[in-house]
Amino acid sequence: MVIFAVLAGASAGAGLMVGCGSDDSVVHPPFDGSIDGNKPDTGPVADAGPDARRDSGIRYDAGPPVFESYSRQITSLWCQKLQGCCALPQGFDLKRCEDVFNNSANVEGPALNRPLAKYLYDGGNPNIAFSATKARECFDAINDIGCGAQSAESFKRMYDICLGAAEGKLGANESGCAGSPECKRPNHCEKVGDASTGVCLGPRAEDAGCSPAADDYYEPQAECGYLITGDPRFCANLDTSAGAEVDGGRNVCTKQRPNGADCNAAAECVSGLCGSSLKCVAADNIGTEDVCKFYIPDAGDGG
């Protein structure tokens, strides 16, 4: 499945899903990043609502929320969740999962935490307000996602909660932003030339130009909608899909697509969910067979 992005993965934040990485042959679940030493918590499971649950009820843990580790904690939880949902008899390469979603070159697989990670400095960032309480709610929301068919609404809820734990402080027309995560929703950071900082401005209008590039998916998406949510618009190449750079194409801010439309990332979909079929959908599965097989130990490149 492809979630915003997210994020990135079954392809999720407001990743909600993401597509596969440049060196990957499957569409992955929504997050990237990692943190070592996390162990599952077997406490009671809260009701996740109408979505199907096939998992054993294990509650996974990434430890107390920490500002500079937040994106890696999100990734750790998601990969642990995927490991539990896949339940592979051959085992699950957790490190491979974390490495895939922590790979900054995996520009086709953006995730909820990927655009944030760069700005979660050691010691804090004066332009980002971090709430440990909201971060814990994010961890709970990830745990509440079941293993079976999941609604787009459940993923959007998860991304809203997780992005809300690290919110930009700079409002419209305020200067000094190093990147869009430092701007209040729905603004983005507009820079001139090679300037290191810019000004927070509102989303660009429909049909306004934007610039997806091979080395930066996230900031161009933020020009059209908040971070990688696609709200109110996403940055697309009209000849291809969000985030793709193709000779001869014109990159513009455009409206999200309805269910059933082709997609390559969740930001393209009104539902916020680009399914494993590469169509905008209202629900999809976590841990499809192709995704799970990709993480069998010693499975090479997933082929």
Across 85-89, 128-132, 173-177, 218-222, least confident range: 218-222
User: Tell me, what's the pLDDT at 256?
Assistant: 92
Most confidently modeled of 99-103, 128-132, 151-155, 270-274?
A: 128-132
pTM: 0.77
- Domain layout of the chain by residue ranges: 2-169+258-294
Residue 46 or residue 116, greater confidence:
116
Residue spans of beta strands (DSSP E) within 169-221: 175-177, 188-190, 198-201
pLDDT at 240 over 90: no
Instruction: Show the DSSP H helices in 11-145 as ranges.
Output: 70-86, 94-102, 114-117, 132-144
Residue 36 or residue 271, greater confidence:
271
Across 26-30, 63-67, 175-179, 229-233, least confident range: 26-30
pLDDT at 127 over 80: yes
Residue 243: burial class (beta carbons within 10 Å; 0-12, 13-18, 19+): buried
pLDDT at 55 over 60: no
pLDDT in tens, 269-298: 999 888 878 889 999 887 778 889 999 998
pLDDT-derived band at 223 (thresholds 50, 70, 90) equals very high
Mean of pLDDT values over 143-162: 86
Mean of pLDDT values over 146-174: 90
User: Tell me, what's the pLDDT at 239?
Assistant: 58
Q: How far is CA 210 from CA 13, 46, 224, 247, in A?
A: 21, 42, 7, 15
Q: How far is the C-alpha of 217 from the C-alpha of 209, rounded, in Å?
A: 15
User: Tell me, what's the pLDDT at 104?
Assistant: 62
Q: How far is the C-alpha of 180 from the C-alpha of 177, rounded, in Å?
A: 7
Residue 73's nearest CA partner among 87, 81, 83, 63 is 63
User: Tell me, what's the pLDDT at 169?
Assistant: 97
pLDDT-derived band at 186 (thresholds 50, 70, 90) equals very high
Q: How far is CA 244 from CA 19, 158, 228, in A?
A: 12, 26, 14
pLDDT in tens, 190-220: 998 889 999 999 999 999 988 765 556 788 8
HSE-CB of 8 using CA atoms within 13 angstroms: 36
User: Tell me, what's the pLDDT at 213?
Assistant: 58
pLDDT-derived band at 105 (thresholds 50, 70, 90) equals low
Longest dimension (CA), the chain: 54
